Structure 1
Amino acid sequence: MASAFVRGAWPHTLVKLALSTTSLTWIAAPAMAQDAASAPAPVPARAETASATSASIDPNEIIVSARRRSETLQETPVAITAVNAAMIEDKNALNIGDLMGTAPNLIITNQSSGAAAANLSIRGLTYADVEKSAEPTVGVVVDGVFIGTSTGQYFDFFDIEQIEVLRGPQGTLFGRNTIGGVVNIRRTRPTGEWGVKAEVSYGRFDTLATRAVVNVPLGDMIALKGFYFHNETDGWYRQAQDGRRRGGANNENFGASLLVTPSDTFEALLTVEKQVQDFDPVLGVLTNSGDAFCALAPAEQCNRNTTDDIYTVFGEPNAGNYSAPSATLEMNLDVGKVKLTSVTGYRKSDEWQTQDFDASETDLYYVYRQQNYEQFSQELRAAGDFGPSFDYVVGAYYFSSNYDLDQWTRVTAFSPGVDPREYDDNPQHVEGKTRSVAIFGDFNWAFADKFRLSFGGRFTRDKKSLSNAFGGVQIGEGSDTFKKFTPKIGVDYRPNDDVMVYASWSRGYRSGGFSPRAGSPASASQAYGPETVDSYEIGGKFDMMGGMLQVNLAGFVSKYNDLQQNTNLFCAVCATQNETVTTNVGSATIKGIEADFTLRPATGLTISGALGLLDSKFKGFVVGGISPVTGAVIPFDFSGNDLIYNPDMTASLNATYSVPTSFGEVVGNLGYRYIGRYDQQISIAGLSGDTTDGPAIVTGNDPRVRTDEQNLLDASLTTRFDLAGTEAHVTVFGRNLLDDRGTTHGFTVGGLFGFGTGREPRTYGVTLGVKY
């Protein structure tokens, strides 16, 4: 791989950089200290780094690293929402799902078919799948490391310094599989001083969370941070047969970070951690009278609604276990004119789970899935400037992953007591590999007074392979290489210190691959191609009323080409008579408008809000389907269907009021989020047109995979006070106070059955915490 870089057109200095192991991820500067066209600030002292982004909730004070530089939020010509530690605490946000609605056009739901798995959509771009070969369209980056699968993305928010939600393709600096955007999560660093932050929370559904972070100084040059998080719940589903709670989980996350600073110009941060989760991946039944399995299940378990009914479940007991150790090494070196960066990441996961996919009490479709996954990544960067008007970030990136899956299935066995591993003598075995290398550069040039040009690009080469076998007999194997250059160019104009307007064009790229659910030799060995997005955006950031009001606006058009979509097809040679394959199916256009604001009308009062509007449509989405008249394969046209996870509108309004008291302060927070209805799967509601010879016109997605409009009201009241020299707090909180119920995930399977999961109903609780 290294020789490929040497042969490229990059300067010899970049080749030297590729042999070094250094880093510049955690630069922070005092508020408003860095002009947008200047070079990145030097690596600061530990205390400055730890506090720069968490000490204030003023957006002008927030330092972001969205462009791998230290810039204030309002100076960054990118559509970005930043949430720092103080905001998270005031909102009593628990995990990444609580971000939904906070940023415009952002959807985040939990996927029960995988451990700590998230379905993320930004600006209507998503790919909701838990298979390890199915790479996300929205990247989740934790401490500079990209998480390569949706499993493990549903992140805890206790030990967080800042979160940045970058909207739109981020292919230049963050790489492939970020065509929708990036959720960039930065955790706190060791402080080098004695300190403890601990919290215990108890809420509805017997939800108990205990969390602690301990900082320990180990001399002048070494600082240690240890952390432990525990979260358990009985779940919010009820088993119809006996009334017990279902959907419970027990999650443990623990580890340590070691920060070494032998000099003012070098530092190294090593984080080692492990996440362990035991969970019940329960599903609600969505099978209706048009599905074959409805005739085999009790009548009351068919034709159920997707609101209240989804919380009563009938299926067999399920269980799952997820174990994921990981390590991150970040190193910083300041050599004067150039700041050097290295971020090394390693992540491994072992998981197994059983799941009753038909979700009825009749034993119809029950599986045992066992998976192993391993990823390694290395990023090298150099950042600097050529005078006051030109700065740069250049680098190289390597990523590799390996995974394997074994699945045993009971299909219409009517034998609930039999282990699938004993029943199925023809189990599926899948193995996959990915190797990816990239070089990139991003540049700022202040070419005229008040004008700046931002430009850059990334060249990525991916090699993927996958083999698929049933019962030890290989049915298909494929290997392919995908290459893409993803450029970006933009210009911004600052007529004064309070206004910035910008325009940009960027291209995002999501790699091609192979279908792990393919059941025929032809499908298993056939690669699907990459998909790309060309995004055109204009925007503005405005400080008004003497800094009392900040308003950010953006409008965009995204041209989505060669879409990758899962399609369920009839398969005569497959054991289940159908297979799910991924294909490139045409194009889509997504248009949108986004706005967010922050207003401070009085001391202690902050009001913020966000609005996202989307308009999207498919073009040329035609795939093969089975004629209901002849049974032959004919063209099915899905162009009239809605894109998934694509609500017409998202909106939020949040108010935080802090009142000082004789003993400390009282902070109240009230937040409202609106999420418009959206579909969760490309499916078939009905057919028109020529259903004999084609094309048959699909009349929309199945209504069972559609979530209704959501009106989510959250509130918390926090009292902070001194307790024997220690800062303490008590928080009373409520989430989804309107008890708005419905699905977060719905899926139908080829005319056989349907299933879904429900969002968290009304919940409430109390949190006690200390910090010193």
Structure 2
Amino acid sequence: MGRISVAKSFITRPVTLALGAAALWVHPALAQDETAPQASGTDSNAIIVTARRRDETLQTTPVAITAINAGMIENKASVNIGDLQGAAPNLLITQQNSGAQAANLSIRGLTYADIEKSQEPTVGVVIDGVFIGTNTGQLLDFFDIEQIEVLRGPQGTLFGRNTIGGVINIRRTRPTKEFGGKLEGTYSKFNSWATRAVVNVGDGESLGLKGWYFHNQSDGFYRNAITGKRDGGSNNENFGASLLFEPTGSGFDALLTVEKLSQKFDVVNSNIARTGEVFCNFEPANQCNRNTTDDLYTTFNSPASSSYSAPAVTLEMNYDAGPVKITSITGWRKSDETQTQDFDASSVDLYYVYREQNYRQWSQELRFSGDLFEGFDYVVGGFYFNSKYDLTQWTRLFGFNDALDPRVADTNPQMVMGKTESYALFGDFNWAFADRWRLSFGGRFTRDQKELSNRFATTGLVGQGDGTFKKFTPKVGVDFRPDNNTMLYASWSRGYRSGGFSPRAATAATAGTPYDPETVDSYEIGAKLDLLDRKLQFNIAAFASKYKDLQQNTTIPGGPTGNQTITSNVGSANIKGIEADITARPMDGLKLSATVGILDSKFKGFVVGNISPVDGTTIVPFDYSRNNLIYAPKFSGSVSAEYIAPTSFGEMIANVGLRHIGAYDQQISLGTLSGNLTTGPVIVNGNDPRVRTKAQNLMDASLTANFTLGEKEAYLTLFTRNLLDQRRTSAAFTVAGLWSFASAIEPRTYGATVGIRF
């Protein structure tokens, strides 16, 4: 493995996307005819969503969606977006430590775990209408959230490219225009504590200002065997202000938000290298051949840290002109990151890097919505996105000197610079063409222009690429309500993930050759039932996705060291699944919920060139079609209960939930080999077992007491997460027979939160 493919291509790695937050109410809404008669009475459980860039009730939105509101989040003692685990079928989320505030997400088995800024997600995160163009900066704090919507399946029509798996749409609270606020403090295991505050002021009519400050820190749940101290600590700050201007009777409002996120954390790797891998020849025997459960929580790596600073500005403006509503959303985000990392994860200095990277994005969306005629509504608009990215990495390879700064050891660091410019036009329409029938259809045309250059500081340019990628992504669906309590639907949609260039290419030819876009065609049918006067709700959906031109990192010959890692289109995959959820309210105050996600996924034609296992130099075809898709457990599910009981001082809220996540793989990797090992094709019979996360049963519980104190409300929450103390990998990666490393899920933890609302 050469310098580029070792020191650069394995900087980022797949990370487990874990499923949880089982106590949150799961309520997927698919289609309902807005013109159909509704059940008598008012549905007190109705939730307003904006998944289709309109304000609609969850029940009338013809999209596979789960909505989680603020009350559900608070009752669960949730911390950030990672706590959505279990909130929707076939959703996996986790944080990973190779990037600041980085969340890797998988919906219905579709994911791409790479935090490089030149590589783009398959699941989009949208915060207050602004699409986040990278996997970093997505782990938003839950304290000031109004609602989160999880949209499953391709969302290319309204949300654009790089949403082929789905979208997590996050809305924070708006200024109330009145004096009030919320203060909160939390302390939990591993010396973890947090303080949060939100304060509103305003004139009560047209002007409102909201300010917030969040701080949380932890000593970490790892133990470093070399220092004897806790490892994996973090310190996060998030602060900002939102100004709302909404003149009475004008039909106009403007919301300006200015904020900054700062994070510092220890970058930790656990060593899972085994005998036969090169690095084990240099490491103490007790640091190799370790298991991927309890051993993960003992580390040997040299100190490493990350520093992240990310200011952002968002301006949303709405004008209701009567027949048409006009919406403009402008977003600007910037991030500066400095990170060191000990990739060998041992006490011996074998592979240590220092990375500096800068990222900036700017986006503008303009939408028009309204009713063209009775029974026909629309949303049309345009979108512009621009981003720039640069990375410099210094590498200390086999330095055997922890005290030597990589910036001194490496006089020829690698430098990558990238740029993306994207334009799109879109339209989405609903037509109630017959009694109880509705047709939903739309499409989006996207044009992406990308540039990427790869060079070394001393030896100069390796190569550069400049290309344009275009795609039209249509969508069509129909829903039917035979009665007020039954909804049947069917839909087809296409998702598109943009092509690009390989930042780790080692020759001018490979650096200048683009990889093509990948697409997903998703077919879905389902039903939704409201029974027993809406005390019992049951939803079931079946889907089939055809995944074409998959983008994967592959190793091919070339470059100064003989081989290089590039991104290629490597074949296709078929994914089938069933999703179901049930919510029951058998008595006042009691809510029971359950979810089920079943996936059947298979690669087709996944054949790439790789180094021969016989001579170690010749490139021969390897067939990876028997590998499992990553982050795609065959079965996952959750059960939960919530009970609210009134008391003389306020109320008590109890939550308990159990999430089961089946085993799943985290990396396309080499299991046992068969076939022709000399000339190929070499048959890869599955994934390396070390990158397989074993099945998990995660139990969480919380108990909240709400106290009424005049016009104020105080609360105390006691909580525990991972009560059964399941210990598993949250990330695992093997590196071409050289070394392997991993990180772990949070073990059992518990704590308390106190707060006041006024």
TM-score, normalised via structure 2 length: 0.93
What is the one-letter code of the residue matched to 1:486? T
- Higher mean displacement: 66-75 or 430-439: 66-75
1:120-167, Cα deviation, whole Å (9 max, x unpaired): 000000000110011000000000000000001122111011000000
* 1:514 corresponds to 2:519: no
Relative to structure 1, is the Cα distance of residues 678 and 613 closer, same or farther in structure 2, using a 3 angstrom cutoff? same
Q: Compute the displacement of 1:425 (Å).
A: 0.9
Partners of 2:465 and 2:309 lie apart in 1 by: 29
Residue 580 of structure 2 corresponds to: 595
Q: Compute the displacement of 1:59 (Å).
A: 8.0
Residue 322 of structure 1 corresponds to: 308
User: Which structure 2 residue ranges, 5 or more long, are not aligned?
Assistant: 1-28, 37-41
Relative to structure 1, is the Cα distance of residues 165 and 232 closer, same or farther in structure 2, using a 3 angstrom cutoff? same
Match of 2:114 among 126, 129, 146: 129
User: Is this contact kept in 1: 2:477–2:490, CA < 8 A?
Assistant: yes
Residue 156 of structure 1 corresponds to: 141
Relative to structure 1, is the Cα distance of residues 660 and 239 closer, same or farther in structure 2, using a 3 angstrom cutoff? same
* 1:556 corresponds to 2:556: no
Residue 181 of structure 2 corresponds to: 196
Match of 1:580 among 541, 559, 565: 565
User: Is this contact kept in 1: 2:32–2:487, CA < 8 A?
Assistant: no
* 1:274 corresponds to 2:252: no
What is the one-letter code of the residue matched to 2:211? G
Partners of 1:426 and 1:530 lie apart in 2 by: 33
What is the one-letter code of the residue matched to 2:94? T
1:73-113, Cα deviation, whole Å (9 max, x unpaired): 12222211110011001111111111122210000011110
Q: Compute the displacement of 1:207 (Å).
A: 0.5
User: Is this contact kept in 2: 1:38–1:390, CA < 8 A?
Assistant: no
Partners of 2:445 and 2:608 lie apart in 1 by: 31
Residue 241 of structure 1 corresponds to: 226
Residue 597 of structure 2 corresponds to: 612
Q: Compute the displacement of 1:539 (Å).
A: 1.4
Residue 639 of structure 2 corresponds to: 653
* 1:357 corresponds to 2:343: yes
What is the one-letter code of the residue matched to 1:160? I
Residue 542 of structure 1 corresponds to: 529
Residue 11 of structure 1 corresponds to: none
Q: Compute the displacement of 1:571 (Å).
A: 4.6
Residue 485 of structure 1 corresponds to: 472
Q: Compute the displacement of 1:218 (Å).
A: 4.0
Q: Compute the displacement of 1:552 (Å).
A: 1.4
Q: Compute the displacement of 1:507 (Å).
A: 0.1
Q: Compute the displacement of 1:570 (Å).
A: 5.3
* 1:710 corresponds to 2:692: no
Partners of 1:361 and 1:118 lie apart in 2 by: 28
1:672-707, Cα deviation, whole Å (9 max, x unpaired): 111111111101112110111111001111111111
Q: Compute the displacement of 1:422 (Å).
A: 0.3
Partners of 1:301 and 1:183 lie apart in 2 by: 39
1:360-389, Cα deviation, whole Å (9 max, x unpaired): 111000000000000001011000112221
Match of 1:222 among 172, 184, 207: 207
* 1:388 corresponds to 2:356: no
3-state DSSP class of the match of 1:547? coil
Partners of 2:384 and 2:33 lie apart in 1 by: 29
1:587-614, Cα deviation, whole Å (9 max, x unpaired): 0000000011211110000111111100
Q: How do 1:363-382 and structure 2 match up within 5 A? A: 363-382=349-368
Relative to structure 1, is the Cα distance of residues 79 and 250 closer, same or farther in structure 2, using a 3 angstrom cutoff? same
Q: Compute the displacement of 1:38 (Å).
A: 6.8
* 1:697 corresponds to 2:645: no
* 1:674 corresponds to 2:669: no
Partners of 2:477 and 2:709 lie apart in 1 by: 52
Relative to structure 1, is the Cα distance of residues 568 and 284 closer, same or farther in structure 2, using a 3 angstrom cutoff? farther
Q: How do 1:131-150 and structure 2 match up within 5 A? A: 131-150=116-135
Question: Greater relative contact order (Cα 8 A, min sep 6): structure 1 or 2?
Answer: 2
Partners of 1:570 and 1:519 lie apart in 2 by: 9
User: Is this contact kept in 1: 2:33–2:437, CA < 8 A?
Assistant: no
Partners of 1:639 and 1:425 lie apart in 2 by: 41
- Higher mean displacement: 697-706 or 419-428: 697-706
Match of 1:79 among 64, 83, 94: 64
Partners of 1:759 and 1:546 lie apart in 2 by: 41
What is the one-letter code of the residue matched to 1:213? V
What is the one-letter code of the residue matched to 2:508? P
Aligned residues: 721
User: Is this contact kept in 2: 1:677–1:707, CA < 8 A?
Assistant: yes
Partners of 1:38 and 1:580 lie apart in 2 by: 55
Residue 766 of structure 1 corresponds to: 752
Q: Compute the displacement of 1:346 (Å).
A: 0.5
Q: Compute the displacement of 1:578 (Å).
A: 4.5
1:250-288, Cα deviation, whole Å (9 max, x unpaired): 000000000001243000000110000011111111111
User: Which structure 1 residue ranges, 5 or more long, are not aligned?
Assistant: 1-31, 40-55
What is the one-letter code of the residue matched to 1:405? L
Residue 726 of structure 2 corresponds to: 740
Residue 52 of structure 1 corresponds to: none
Q: Compute the displacement of 1:71 (Å).
A: 1.6
What is the one-letter code of the residue matched to 2:107? I
* 1:304 corresponds to 2:290: yes
Residue 173 of structure 1 corresponds to: 158
Q: Compute the displacement of 1:724 (Å).
A: 5.4
Partners of 2:556 and 2:423 lie apart in 1 by: 34
3-state DSSP class of the match of 1:546? coil
1:540-580, Cα deviation, whole Å (9 max, x unpaired): 22111111011111110000000001124455514xx6532
User: Is this contact kept in 2: 1:585–1:623, CA < 8 A?
Assistant: yes
Residue 13 of structure 2 corresponds to: none
3-state DSSP class of the match of 1:202? strand
Partners of 2:229 and 2:756 lie apart in 1 by: 35
Moved over 3 A (4+): 34-39, 568-572
* 1:753 corresponds to 2:739: yes
Q: Compute the displacement of 1:37 (Å).
A: 4.0
User: Is this contact kept in 1: 2:32–2:479, CA < 8 A?
Assistant: no
User: Is this contact kept in 1: 2:556–2:619, CA < 8 A?
Assistant: no
Q: How do 1:14-33 and structure 2 match up within 5 A? A: none
Partners of 2:154 and 2:83 lie apart in 1 by: 22
Relative to structure 1, is the Cα distance of residues 546 and 219 closer, same or farther in structure 2, using a 3 angstrom cutoff? closer
Q: Compute the displacement of 1:35 (Å).
A: 8.7
Q: Compute the displacement of 1:649 (Å).
A: 1.1
User: Is this contact kept in 1: 2:32–2:59, CA < 8 A?
Assistant: no
TM-score, normalised via structure 1 length: 0.92
User: Is this contact kept in 2: 1:59–1:74, CA < 8 A?
Assistant: no
3-state DSSP class of the match of 1:173? helix
* 1:466 corresponds to 2:452: yes
* 1:101 corresponds to 2:86: yes
Q: Compute the displacement of 1:725 (Å).
A: 3.9
Q: How do 1:407-486 and structure 2 match up within 5 A? A: 407-472=393-458, 473-486=460-473
Residue 609 of structure 2 corresponds to: 624
Partners of 1:579 and 1:730 lie apart in 2 by: 55
3-state DSSP class of the match of 2:170? strand
Relative to structure 1, is the Cα distance of residues 82 and 610 closer, same or farther in structure 2, using a 3 angstrom cutoff? same
Residue 523 of structure 1 corresponds to: 510
Q: Compute the displacement of 1:521 (Å).
A: 2.5
